[in-house]
Chains A and B, each alone.
Chain A
Amino acid sequence: DAGVIQSPRHEVTEMGQEVTLRCKPISGHNSLFWYRQTMMRGLELLIYFNNNVPIDDSGMPEDRFSAKMPNASFSTLKIQPSEPRDSAVYFCASSLGNPTEAFFGQGTRLTVV
């Protein structure tokens, strides 16, 4: 199994630009998570999908952030417009649901200048 695949691995963009992060979960997993990792706040959950439906988006910081999961094998996290404080590593993870562990992708390191 290829694991959770995220793209791009690194993204540098200018403030105000739109950024789209992509994720392909492990085949057969029905839960998908987007996490953000920063030095100040550590790892925090942004949004959670179950069977392609957003269940909990209370961690999404602002309306500038949006996430979609059009099918079981693909999800996107979009930031528009991006700001320097959005700079972080964004992780996608998938799991089979309770009770099991989540498998993480390698992350996308986003830098907004």
Chain B
Amino acid sequence: AQKVTQAQTEISVVEKEDVTLDCVYETRDTTYYLFWYKQPPSGELVFLIRRNSFDEQNEISGRYSWNFQKSTSSFNFTITASQVVDSAVYFCALSDTLQGGSEKLVFGKGMKLTVNP
């Protein structure tokens, strides 16, 4: 069965520090997708990134970067020079393809990041 583990439940950093959020997944599928979502205090879930299992290139988007390593089944997320607005709960998720071709997302438990000024 698909499983996502976010070992860290809560992290607190000071503004401008770099922070890495860990994500380890389990799947028997050869083709799958990995995601990160952000849930700010307002409650909505905001899509950050999707990565397919055949693309192990790291990705950078502004202060955000993602490191996908199939060998260790990890998809870690780094925020460089963190800001107070980065404070949120971050979820890693793994796709599980359903009948009909769409994706069910299996979520990790989430990691609460607090960035203090």
Contacts and interface: CB of A to CB of B under 8 A. Distances in A.
Interface residues of A, number: 28
B33 A99 contact: yes
Considering the complex of A and B, which 5 residue pairs feature the smallest CB-CB distances, nearest first?
Answer: A50-B100, A104-B45, A31-B102, A43-B107, A98-B101
Given A42-B107, A99-B52, A104 B101 contact: no
Interface stretch (A18-26, A60-68, A69-77, A105-113): A105-113
A104 B38 CA distance: 11
Interface stretch (B56-64, B68-76, B91-99): B91-99
Interface of B: 33, 35, 37, 42-47, 50, 52, 91, 95, 97-105, 107-110
Nearest to B91: A43
Which of the listed residues A55, A89, A109 has the most CB atoms from chain B within 10 Å of its own CB? A55
B47 A56 contact: no
A50 B102 contact: yes
Contacts of B103: 95, 97-100, 102
Nearest to B104: A45
Contacts of B102: 30-31, 48, 50, 55, 95, 97-98
Nearest to B35: A101
Contacts of A42: 107-110
Given A51-B100, A95-B102, A105-B44, 10 more contacts: A31-B102, A42-B108, A50-B101, A56-B99, A97-B102, A98-B102, A104-B44, A104-B46, A104-B47, A107-B43
